[in-house]
Amino acid sequence: AEPLTTKGGVQEVIHLESADSNVCNDETSNEKASENTNDDTDETNANSRQKNNEKPLTLYLLKRKGFVKHALATGSPIVPVFAFHLDGSYGYYIPRSKIVHRISRAVGVVPLVFWGRFGIPFGIPYPKRIVVVIGEAIDVESEGSGDDDDDDGGVSEERVDRVHKVFLRELEALFERHKVEAGYGGRKLRIV
C-alpha cells in the first residue's frame, strides 16, 4: 500500500504563535541562558522554561478527516503516532498583518522563514532528542465502493466521524501515557 500524505493548512501556520510575537526561537533563548550565570537570570530562565512546559500543545485535527475517509474506503488501519520535541526544532518568522493574512488565505501559502542550527535559513534543525511513540493500530473495515470517480469513496460521514473520534481519543491517550517520560509533564494536548 502506498503511504498517504495529507497537507497542512494556512490556519495551522497562522496560529503558530500569538499575534504579539512574530518570531519563535526557543533554542536561542536557551543558548543565551547557558551563557549567563547570574542567579537572577537563571531564575528568569527557569521560569521561562516552566512557562513553556505549561503551554498547551495545539494540534489542528478536528476538521482533518480525509485520512479517516481514505482508510475506510481502502480498509487500511489507522495508526496514532506522536513525535515529542518537534516544537522548537526550528526558529521561525511569520509576518503579521491583515493583508498578509488575506493573501495567505487566498493563495493557500503563508510567507514563512525558518532557520535551524547556526541560524542558517531553511537549514538543519536544532539538535533535539525527538521521541516518537506509536500507538496500537485502529483496524477499520473497508466501506469503499472501489470506484475512483466516487468522491466520497462510498463511505458514510457518520462512520468517518465515529472513527475520527476514536483516533483522536487514542492519540490523546498516547500523548498522556508518554508525556512525562518525554519531558512534557506539565503540558496539555489541545485538539482544535
Taking only the tens of pLDDT, the chain with its 192 residues reads 444 444 455 555 555 554 334 455 544 444 433 343 344 444 444 444 455 567 888 888 999 999 999 999 999 999 999 999 988 888 988 888 889 888 888 888 888 888 999 988 888 999 989 999 999 999 999 887 655 555 666 899 999 999 999 999 999 999 999 999 999 999 999 998
Q: Given the DSSP bridges, would you call strands 189-191 and 57-59 parallel, antiparallel or unpaired? A: parallel
Which residue type sits at 119?
G
Whole-structure pTM value = 0.71
